[in-house]
Amino acid sequence: MVCFNAYGGMKTSFPALIKWVGLAGEKLHCQLCDEIRTIVRAEGGVTLSALDKMTLTKSMVYEALRIEPLVPFQYSKAKENLVINSHDAAFEIKKGEMIFGYQPFATKDPKVFEDPEEIVGHRFVGEGEKLLKYVYWTNGREIYDPTVENKQCP
C-alpha cells in the first residue's frame, strides 16, 4: 500500500505541486527556502515535527491542491435521502440517485476564496487557517481526522 500511494503521489501530485510552486514567483520561492532551511536546521533534520512547523510550506501544498485537485471528479450513489446546500440553494437527493461532483467548483469558489484562480502561497497561513474547513479531500474536510468510518485518506 505504501508503494502504491507513493507511486500515485509522485506520479500526479508532485508534478502539480512543483508546477504551482514554480509559477508562484521568486519572492515566494525565497520565503519557502528560508522557512524550510531554518526549521530543518533547528530540528536537526527533516522530521514530522519539522514538517508540522512549516506553516508557509503547508499552506503552499494546500494551495496547489486547492487550485488543481488531484481527484477533480467524484461520484457515488446516495446511500440515504439527503439535502446538499450551496451558498444560495438546496438540492434534495433521493436514496439510490447518482451524485457527481466536480471539486474545482468548490475549491475555486469566489464566495470563499479571494482571487480563486490565482496561486496565493500564504492563503492558509495565520487567519487563513480558517479557510481549511473549505478544503475537501475525497471523503471529508481537511479539518477532520481520518478514521475507519469516514474512509478519508490519511
CB atoms within 10 A of CB 54: 19
CB within 8 A of 134, min separation 6: which ones?
106, 107, 109, 112, 113, 141
| Residue type at position 58 | K
pLDDT over 80 (residue 154) = no
| Chain segment 23-61, per-residue pLDDT in tens | 999 999 999 999 999 999 999 999 999 999 999 999 999
Task: Average the pLDDT over each of 31-45, 65-79, 86-100, 116-130 and give the range with the smallest value.
Answer: 65-79
Cβ atoms of 132 and 124 within 8 Å: the answer is yes
| Chain segment 130-151, per-residue pLDDT in tens | 998 887 666 666 777 777 776 6
pTM for the full predicted model:
0.82
Quote the longest CA-to-CA distance of the chain.
55
pLDDT for the residue numbered 2? 60
Instruction: Report residue 104 as a C-alpha cell.
Output: 474545482
